[in-house]
Amino acid sequence: MTTSVRLSLSSLRAHRRRFAGTFLAVFLGVSFLAGTLVMGDTLRAGFDTMFGDATAGTDAVVRGADTITTPGEGQGARRPVDTGLAATLARVPGVAAAVPDIQGAGQLVGSDGRPVGGQGPPTLAGNWITDPRLNPYRLAEGRAPERPGEVVVNRGAAEKGGLRLGDSTVLRTPDPVRVTVVGLATFGGEDGMGQVTFTGMTRADAEKYLTARPGEAASILVRAAPGIGQQELVDRLAPALPRGVEAITGQESAQENTDMVSSRFLTLFTTFLLVFSGVALLVATFSIHNTFAIVVAQRTRENALLRALGASRRQVTAATLVEASAVAVTASAAGLAGGVGIAAGLQALFPAIGFPFPGGDLVVTALSLTLPLAVGVLVCLGSALLPAVRAGRTAPLAALRDTAVDSSAASRTRAVTGLALAGLAVATTLTGVLVSPSVWLAGTGAALAWSRSSSSARSPPAPPSASSARPWTGCAASPAPSPGATPCAAPGGPPPPRAPS
């Protein structure tokens, strides 16, 4: 073990209370960053599995090739296709079944008279597809709609609206339509497609209330005969398609749905959490720099003695950076475990607060581990670099100077204020991320976190100035000279007379 390492370890033990704050700052920043990455990968994998299971029986999707977009919308809508095309495609060799998929906007009204879903997630309605392999929804309770006014509702929407089998309610399409719930359905094994609500109607009702003109559908779902692959099915359908209509495989359609969810929700969700972790790392940067600045200022005489004994600037600087590295690696490694715990906690918290995300195990990738670890180490070392360089520039003569020592104790008022601001910052940011997504709320949480850092930080003691140095006069500062000793000269006065021999 080198001398620099031994000095660094002894300094860590001597200033463990100060370095505990540095450890906590790095730990929180790395935990939030790792938790965000793990949660994002877990949600993407969950939606992939959910859409894959829901559309496993769909081998091809026939839809309009042109997309109609409006200003401010990134996805747009495709032109509808003729429902009569389903009968034409059903006669293509290799096709086992082809059914129209009619979709539109339809918002249920709950038992309390309030719309289910509010103004947040999409509220969809469509025809209930009788072919169970082509229908992405599975009937869990009740039966399929058979008569006008009968509907099947996804189970999650029914629970939110307080609706049960046999209840009568209103479906806004946007015209109000009186409907009766006769069945409850699931999507991909879940109570719904995230927070999206779905109402399945008879085909006649769907054409009547959800389309601009009867005979239009959003797409045609096609199932292949045994032994026919998805791409082979698409190739066989292509000659039978009219102009302006295209066919894609079922896997491509499922991937597009996953990408749509990722662009609309997952990107926003992970961005909010990344902003919060960035704020935590920013606060950690100031906290780490402040801690090492205080420690270096307190060790001015110690570093000067090391320089006087022959230590080079590089060795003194390296000793301080070794301390920072020890704290960085330890806190970042603990932060990785904390990040996995945060992701697991969020996964359990979301269903409790009304976010029925797809279930599944946590997905921990190599990037989710290496990136937060590297960021934590770099932030800690970068924040401690300037104090370490300042420590290496300590002059050997500083050992003979009076140095200011920070003898102030921890302020209870400052600690309580910092904890209160930290709690308020976390609550405000989580509200802006989970409850009511808002950039303003997340920004307010960041400002509170900055205030917490400012209230908790202590300024380092001032370094010794040149005026505080005592010039050496050649005499020890003893209370009284011993008999026969040469008296000391007064500063700036003539030399004392020599004693007779």
Domain boundaries, the chain: 3-49+260-465, 57-249
| Whole-angstrom distance, CA of residue 329 vs CA of residue 148 | 66
Whether the per-residue pLDDT at 499 is higher than 50: the answer is: no
Pairing mode, if any, of strands 176-187 and 150-154?
parallel
Q: What is the pLDDT of residue 484?
A: 46
d(CA 255, CA 204): 30
pTM: 0.65
Q: 410, 315 in Cβ contact below 8 A?
A: no
Closest CA to 324 of 29, 5, 3, 2: 5
Residue 54 tokens, joined: 């829901």
* Rounded Cα gap, residues 272 and 266, in angstroms: 10
Q: Which whole number is the average pLDDT over 351-377?
A: 80
- pLDDT at position 486 is 44
- For residue range 220-229, list pLDDT tens digits in order: 999 999 999 9
* Angstrom distance (rounded) from CA 482 to CA 86: 117
Q: What is the pLDDT of residue 105?
A: 87
* Per-residue pLDDT, 234: 93
What pLDDT score was predicted for residue 93?
A: 94
Highest mean pLDDT among 158-162, 193-197, 410-414: 158-162
Q: 149: number of CA atoms within 13 Å, CB side?
A: 9
390 or 472: whose pLDDT is higher?
390
Q: pLDDT category, 354, cuts 50, 70, 90? A: low
Max mean pLDDT among 53-67, 266-280, 426-440, 466-480 falls in 53-67
DSSP bridge pairs for 125:
104, 199
Bond preceding residue 174 cis, omega within 30 of 0: yes
The whole-number average pLDDT for the span 103-131 is 84
- Rounded to 5 degrees, what are φ and ψ at 327? -65, -40
The more confident residue out of 468 and 349 is 349
Mean pLDDT throughout 118-133?
82
Average pLDDT over residues 295-307: 78
Question: How deeply is 71 buried, as exposed, middle or buried, from its count of CB atoms within 10 A (0-12, 13-18, 19+)?
Answer: exposed
Mean pLDDT, range 97-126, rounded to an integer? 85
Chain mean pLDDT for the chain: 77
CA–CA gap between residue 357 and residue 52 (Å, rounded): 15
Residues 6+ apart with CB under 8 A from 205: 127, 145, 148, 149, 177
ω into residue 239 within 30 of 0, thus cis? no
Residue 414 confidence (pLDDT)? 59
- What is the pLDDT, as a whole number, of residue 8? 62
Q: What is the CA radius of gyration of the chain?
A: 35
